[in-house]
Amino acid sequence: MTSLKLIEQSASTVVDLLKQEKTTPLELLDALEERVGEVNPTVNALPTLCFDRARDHARDLMQRPVARRGRLAGLPLPIKDLTNVAGVRTTYGSPIFADFVPERSDILVLNLEREGGIVFAKSATPEFGAGANTFNEVFGATLNPWDTSRSAAGSSGGAAVALATGMAWVAHGSDLGGSLRNPASFCGIVGLRPSPGRVARDPGTIIDDVLSVQGPMARTVEDVALLLDAMANEDPSDPISLPRTGESYLAAARAPQPLARVAFSADLGVTPVDPEVAEICRRAAWRFTELGVTVEEAHPDLSDAKNAFHTLRAVGFAAAHGQKLKDYPDLLKPETIWNIEKGLRLSASDIVAAEEQRAEIVRRAHAFFSHYDLLMTPATIVPPYPVEARYVDECSGVKFDNYIDWLAIAYSISLTTAPALSLPCGYTQNGLPVGLQIVARPRGEARLLSGAALLERLLSLGTVHPINPRHCAVA
């Protein structure tokens, strides 16, 4: 099979080819290196490549019998540049770490390699993942391949662009306030934020953090499920990690179960939304009625989400980066400084109030999902915006006074601990992709993937096929 033919296949098909020994990890790496050489200079999605390391790992893996090569069987993938890979430059998108090379890999990377994943690149991210526009002072901006004048969103922007352009079959991402879901929406691919603890990772300064999670990205629901099966893991070093349940997420996506009742909300009661985006998402959600599913307009009460998220995010930034502000104030971008300083100013009573609000949001979400199988909303409130804009500062006449609040439709769901997925659901009049956020009950990844697969089949957008970057300069 030619390099181009390999690039055009789904991840599930490629893994089947690997397990049937109809291709090899080395052939896949050759195909990717060729594609990266053609595409990456245009979009700047994979700033650090490690093909020599990848080929060494591939040769080692090929010494094992096929049945012992793990769930991924030698499938290459990029790791987001916030996560350590031993011996590979890892910058976190920050000049402070521009030349940092870690000696050990993150728990997540070690597990993926045990499952037959082969790391060949680091994907671009904004500084410390702060901001839903992937640019930084180390590598510059990552461009949206649907229109290279537009943002790829973030913070997993490099991963989303690599997938959309065929520079990866699957990719690792992470999500705090939408960092998987926003770039998936902007780039026309699928991104899944799992329940906290589903994917073990190195704990941060706040070791029981349930806001930030690691998750899979791919071009289809089935391929996301394939990667989640490989990523899901318990590790004693991660105190919130969950044991494997024994269920196959890939099986859930391949054999979707029927749904009874689902909900749609254009705004969750917390944010303005671009009317065209809202209508595209509403039409997609109502496609479920073709399967005999009841669709209703409803959402849980998330009115406390803004204060709870702002406060808890600021606590995390102060804990993780407060010392950096003291040591390197001139090397941090303004948005990161704003978040750290906000965290350092918080009182104990501020934090207690936010925790009480979060607890109530979780309770309301649990009650909501006792009545609905799924909740659907826009994944982002606007189509891809000009890459020169640091963030969205206005939507439908409403001005935002910070770089976070345009993400409320995603971060409000983060607070619930529910798994959420961004599914391509249509295109604007200018041909830019729009994502539908689909949410299931906490720890309900199988139900989420099953429902998303049903809708993906109805919509039939053909997202398994990668695109070549284009420059449209839409108005």
Where residue 123 falls among pLDDT bands split at 50, 70, 90?
Answer: very high
Q: Is residue 473 one of the residues assigned to a domain?
A: no
Task: Supply the CATH number for residue 123's domain.
Answer: 3.90.1300.10
Range of the domain at 326: 3-459
Q: Is residue 298 one of the residues assigned to a domain?
A: yes
- As for how many domains the chain has, the answer is 1
Q: Is residue 199 one of the residues assigned to a domain?
A: yes
Q: Is residue 475 one of the residues assigned to a domain?
A: no
C-beta of residue 117 within 8 angstroms of C-beta of residue 230: yes
Distance CA 8, CA 140 (A): 28
pLDDT in tens, 333-371: 999 999 999 999 999 999 999 999 999 999 999 999 999
Where residue 473 falls among pLDDT bands split at 50, 70, 90?
Answer: low
pLDDT above 70: percentage of residues in the chain: 99
pLDDT in tens, 201-237: 999 999 999 999 999 999 999 999 999 999 999 999 9
Residue 155, preceding peptide bond in cis (omega within 30° of 0): yes
Q: Is residue 193 one of the residues assigned to a domain?
A: yes
Residue with tokens 């098909």: 13
Catalytic residues, by residue number, are: 80, 155, 179
Residue with tokens 């990772």: 201
C-beta of residue 54 within 8 angstroms of C-beta of residue 78: no
pLDDT in tens, 228-252: 999 999 999 999 999 998 899 999 9
Report the pLDDT value the prediction gives residue 474, as an integer from 0 to 100.
Answer: 52
Q: Is residue 469 one of the residues assigned to a domain?
A: no
pLDDT in tens, 125-162: 999 999 999 999 999 999 999 999 999 999 999 999 99
Q: Is residue 67 one of the residues assigned to a domain?
A: yes
Report the pLDDT value the prediction gives residue 236, as an integer from 0 to 100.
Answer: 96
Q: What is the mean pLDDT of residues 85-113?
A: 98
Q: What is the mean pLDDT of residues 422-442?
A: 98
Q: Is residue 274 one of the residues assigned to a domain?
A: yes
Q: What is the pTM of this model?
A: 0.98
Report the pLDDT value the prediction gives residue 1, as an integer from 0 to 100.
Answer: 72
Distance CA 14, CA 11 (A): 5
Report the pLDDT value the prediction gives residue 3, as an integer from 0 to 100.
Answer: 75
